[in-house]
Amino acid sequence: MFTELLEMQSFLNKPVRQLSLGQKMRAELAIALLHDPDILYLDEPTIGLDVVVKDKIRKFVRELNREKKTTVILTTHDMADIEEICDRIIMIDHGTLMLDQTIASFKSQGADQYYVEVAFKNYKKPLSFDGVELMKEQPFCHTYSINPRLVSMNDLLSCISELFEVTDITIKKPEIDEIVRKIYTSQSGETKLSMKESFLKKSIEKL
């Protein structure tokens, strides 16, 4: 099963020294699972691998969890690993638990913002009103950050059709790494504020 899922047929009988990094990683995964463990710990399993091998490993881990109900604990800096493999996310900063929730709940934290990419032949002027911010300007493509609390989708699309000769339009939610960055930045600011308040309190007590 591992040979088939990890596509190891072509290098199964090769000496280890002749294997590429991606082949070694797939072989190590298979070896780690031969005794059918209940829990599998993966530390940066896709680091340094090409996109094809990354995809194979992610698919394998998902299939392993589905077929054998193996619990997978994954530590990674690759947000695509988290998005494609995990059902639950835990964020830790310097040993402190920042959050523990489902991926769906985690991604809902980006619901206060989305992005619209407009490709066009020509335009009268960039969008400019409350709730809309030009993030990236290219010769025939603009990317805007949209605050849905300030502007409705109907109003936005109506305005785009008036100002642009549109060739394509893409609506994107914030990427998972952007949400992570936002949370870390927010928590860092709160920590600094807490430290400042603690310092002021101690100073006042001394006075």
- Residue 179 within any structural domain of the chain: no
Do 94 and 32 share a structural domain?
yes
Asked if 119 and 140 touch (Cβ cutoff 8 Å), the reply is yes
Query: Which residues on neighbouring strands pair with residue 170, listed in sequence order?
Result: 117
Q: Tell me, what CATH number does 55's domain have?
A: 3.40.50.300
- Residue 41 within any structural domain of the chain: yes
Alpha-carbon dihedral sign for residues 192, 198, 203, 204: positive
Distance CA 124, CA 120 (A): 11
Do 134 and 44 share a structural domain?
no
- Residue 13 within any structural domain of the chain: yes
Q: In 3-state terms, what secondary structure has residue 165?
A: strand
Do 27 and 115 share a structural domain?
no
Could you tell me the residue range of the domain that residue 19 belongs to?
2-106
Beta strands 96-102 and 39-43 are unpaired
Do 115 and 93 share a structural domain?
no
**Total domains, the chain:** 2
- Residue 153 within any structural domain of the chain: yes
Q: pTM score > 0.75 for this model?
A: no
Sorted by sequence, the CB contacts under 8 Å of residue 186 that are 6+ apart come out as none
- Residue 130 within any structural domain of the chain: yes
Do 117 and 26 share a structural domain?
no
Do 116 and 99 share a structural domain?
no
> Per-residue confidence of the chain (207 residues) as pLDDT tens digits?
888 888 899 999 999 999 998 899 889 989 999 998 999 999 988 888 888 888 988 998 998 898 889 999 998 888 888 888 888 988 888 888 888 888 888 877 766 788 999 999 988 888 888 889 998 998 899 999 998 889 888 999 999 998 999 999 999 888 787 788 777 777 655 544 454 455 445 445 554
Do 74 and 45 share a structural domain?
yes
Q: Give the angle subtended at the CA of 54 by the CAs of 48 and 55, to the nearest 5°.
A: 165
